[in-house]
Structures are given as C-alpha cells and as structure tokens.
Amino acid sequence: MNHLRKKVYVIAGYNTISLGTGRKEFHPKKPRPGLEHYIREAGQATLKIIGGGQKVDECVMGNFMAGRYNKQANLPGFFPMIDPELRYKPATRVEGACGSGGLAMTSAIRSILAETAEVVLTLGVEVQNTMKAVYGADVLAGAGWFQDRKKGHVHFFPGQFSDRAGAYYEKFGREKTRQAMARWYRQAIENARLCPTAQEYHNTTPNLEEVAMTEPNPRSFVAHLNVYDCSKVSDAASALAVVSEEGLKRTGLDPSQAVEIISWAQVEEDLTQPPPDPTELSTIKEAVKQALDRAGLTIDQIGTVETHDCFSIAAIMAVEAMGLAGRGEGPDFILAGHTSREGKIPFNTTGGLIGWGHPVGATGVHQAVTIWEQLTGNAGNAQISLTPERPYGMTVNMGGDDKTVVAIIYKRN
C-alpha cells in the first residue's frame, strides 16, 4: 500500500490565546468567552489567509468533551457560523480524548488522499474553565477506562501519571528524574515566554527549576508529582488548512508558506487494560516507529518535536520512546540540554502543554500549527534555526494514558 499516494500540505496556521490561570486576562469570577468565540476566531483567521470559505471543500473539528464542559453537541454545525460560505459543506467532529486534535489532522489527511477534498479546514477546540478543576477531573477521566474511576485518585489523570512516575523512580532513580522534570518545566516556561498566545506567557517566576523541585505532597495532591509537573486547564482553539497540490494552487498562497506532511501514523491501544509497563510509553513508541519507517527517516534526522507533555514524566518517557535515549536515560538527555531550543533537537518551542496550554481537543492541531510556524519562519520570537542535517519536524499527540496516539512528520516545502 502506498502510504501517501499524493502530496499533502498544511498552510495558514492560527492559534487563539490559551486562556486560563496564568494569563492576565483570566479571572475565574468574571465572564469568559464561550466555545463559539474560539471556533469563530480560529476558523475566520485561517479562512482569511486562504481566501474565505468558498475555497474549502470539507471541515473537521477535534473536540473531547464539549457535551459535558459546555453542554454542547453537534459541533459540525458551528462551521457555517464561521463563514456563510461553509453552509451545506460536509463537516465532521472527531474525538480521541487528548488526541482529538491529532485525529482531526488524520481525518483531514484521509480526505485529501481519498480525493473527496482539495482543501480541508481543520480545527481543534476545548473550553474547560466552565467548572472547578476537581469536577473537571471527573470529565477528564472519560479519557481513560471509566470503570477505574471509583478506585482511582480524585485527580484521576494526575493520579495515573503519578503512578507512572513512582514506578519510574523505583526502577531508574528518583533524584535525577526529579531534576530532569524540573528542567523540563523551566524549558516549557522559558519557551512559553516567547509566544504571546501561550498560557504561561506572563509567567515571571524566577528560579523556575527550584520552584519545580517542590516536593510532591500526597495530602494535597498526588504522591509523585507536584502542580508544576502538570499541564493546566485551558480554553483555546487552533486551526489550519490541510490541502492537496491543487488545493494549494486554489488558495493562491506562496508555496514557501506550505509545509508538506511526508508521513503519519495513528495507533490505538486497549483502553480497558493497564499499561504493559508503567515506565514506558509503548503506544507512542509504536506510532513514532511507524511514522519514521514510512518516511524512510531515523529520529536523528528530526529537527524539532512537539510532544504531548501532559505531565513532565510523560516528556521523559516520550524522549525514550522516540529512541533519543535508552530506557532510564531520558533524564540524562534532558539535563544535557538536548531538548532545549539551542539543543540537539528542540522540543515544544512555544511551551508545549505545560507552557503553552492544554485545551484538550485542540492540542494536536496546536502542535501542527507550531511545526508549521517553525518550518515556514512564522514563529516570531519563538523561532528556532533548523540545520540541513535535521530539516524535519514531528508532532506526537497522545489521548488518554498512552491509548490513542498520532505521530506526523513534516518537511519544508
């Protein structure tokens, strides 16, 4: 089977602000924008770049839990609100928990490959600050096997990854791992400070690693993670257009503003089963391997990565799953500076989930927008330099506890 039977590109990326605690605009007791605001802002911004809704053949939206966070379903019906030219055009909503944005990307890619569309407006959105975090934990638990909810931690997913962290400490050592997690936090916040839409853009905390080394307190949170190890509750949307060669011509954009998708993989694991090894992200490992093999590349040719750092321990395990470090050696790779913006392979250059924010259903699209920005020189103060030896970008979007994973590899056009 020919993995990519025709060329597929991404263009016209746009992110709203990631709103939540940390942003100066955020106040928990004041009214905030609703779901439709974010959908409209991101969608209209992308359409403005490509020439309006008349250029679009299909639409797809990634979202996790609008039915509970916002009491709103039937999300495809919001596309005509963005632009009247989208009336009567096919639209779908896809869901794979925190991997919903990645599924929106693969859905758009499939439409291009199936030749049912030349231009697909691809959008991810989540508005989560509609309830207190402790109630939101119950909503987020739907990303896992909900039958485990009653025996799980009150903060369900922090509890899941706290258990993973505890197992990792026991197997590979706690002190260096905690130091690497603190370094990851510092890297995330410093990168977010360079991106005006990031949730931690206004963060002026000094001594970031010292703060991140705060000892976890199981009485107030979970046993093996502190709050700095965790991504935040976020409201945001991201959008871009996934297009064919014909679709790119239709938009009239300079080809230098397009980034080619050269391979992708979508991998699922059994939601009802615990991880085979809590110290390994085996589904990410498989997804990255498939994507690299299909592209004919090795991980040493990837120049920048957007990975799903919902928790800092997940970042360490992802570095290992990608083959950048051996088992138990992820902390050394991070502490050596290899994942920093000046390092061997810069990760999460606008802050990732911990720094930019984690609007669950939008994250996979946001990752794609960030890679598009970097490969086209549109990243502003967050711009990095890629070397001829490592010209490719990769996104890795994870849903649940390593259950739904999408890995995509991109190159400059």
Who's near 324: CB < 8 A, 6+ residues apart?
299, 330, 333, 338, 345
Model confidence pLDDT, tens digit, residues 191-202: 999 999 999 999
Q: For the chain, how far is it from start to end, CA to CA, in angstroms?
A: 24
Is residue 161 one of the residues assigned to a domain? yes
Is residue 140 one of the residues assigned to a domain? no
pLDDT of amino acid 213:
98
Q: How far is CA 284 from CA 97, 156, 248, 281, 324, in A?
A: 15, 21, 31, 6, 13
Instruction: In whole angstroms, give the CA distance from residue 247 to residue 303.
Output: 27
Tell me: do 295 and 350 sit in the same domain.
yes
Tell me: do 202 and 237 sit in the same domain.
no
pLDDT of amino acid 5:
87
| Dihedrals phi, psi of 24, to nearest 5 degrees | -65, -30
Tell me: do 161 and 246 sit in the same domain.
no
Is residue 267 one of the residues assigned to a domain? yes
Tell me: do 246 and 300 sit in the same domain.
no
Q: What percent of the chain has pLDDT over 70?
A: 100
Task: Share the mean pLDDT of the chain.
Answer: 96
H/E run at residue 356: none
Nearest to 324 by CA among 308, 341, 351, 305: 305
What is the extent of the structural domain holding 199?
A: 153-228+263-408
Q: What is the mean pLDDT of residues 159-181?
A: 98
Q: Does 342 have pLDDT greater than 90?
A: yes
Who's near 175: CB < 8 A, 6+ residues apart?
none
Is residue 105 one of the residues assigned to a domain? yes
Q: What is the mean pLDDT of residues 294-305?
A: 97
Model confidence pLDDT, tens digit, residues 356-395: 999 999 999 999 999 999 999 999 999 999 999 999 999 9
pLDDT of amino acid 2:
59
Is residue 138 one of the residues assigned to a domain? no
Q: Which two tokens stand for residue 282?
A: 């085996």
Instruction: In whole angstroms, give the CA distance from residue 58 to residue 86.
Output: 8
Q: Does 1 have pLDDT greater than 80?
A: no
Nearest to 328 by CA among 275, 280, 276, 277: 280
Instruction: In whole angstroms, give the CA distance from residue 380 to residue 185.
Output: 22
Tell me: do 384 and 307 sit in the same domain.
yes
Task: Say if CB 382 and CB 350 are below 8 A apart.
Answer: yes
Model confidence pLDDT, tens digit, residues 82-112: 999 999 999 999 999 999 999 999 999 999 9
Task: Say if CB 126 and CB 359 are below 8 A apart.
Answer: yes
pLDDT of amino acid 154:
81
Q: What is the CATH number of the domain that holds 296?
A: 3.40.47.10
Tell me: do 398 and 371 sit in the same domain.
yes
Amino acid present at 267: V
Q: What is the mean pLDDT of residues 244-257?
A: 98
Domain count across the chain: 2
Rg (CA), the chain: 20
Amino acid present at 173: G
Tell me: do 81 and 168 sit in the same domain.
no
pLDDT of amino acid 121:
99
Instruction: In whole angstroms, give the CA distance from residue 233 to residue 363.
Output: 12
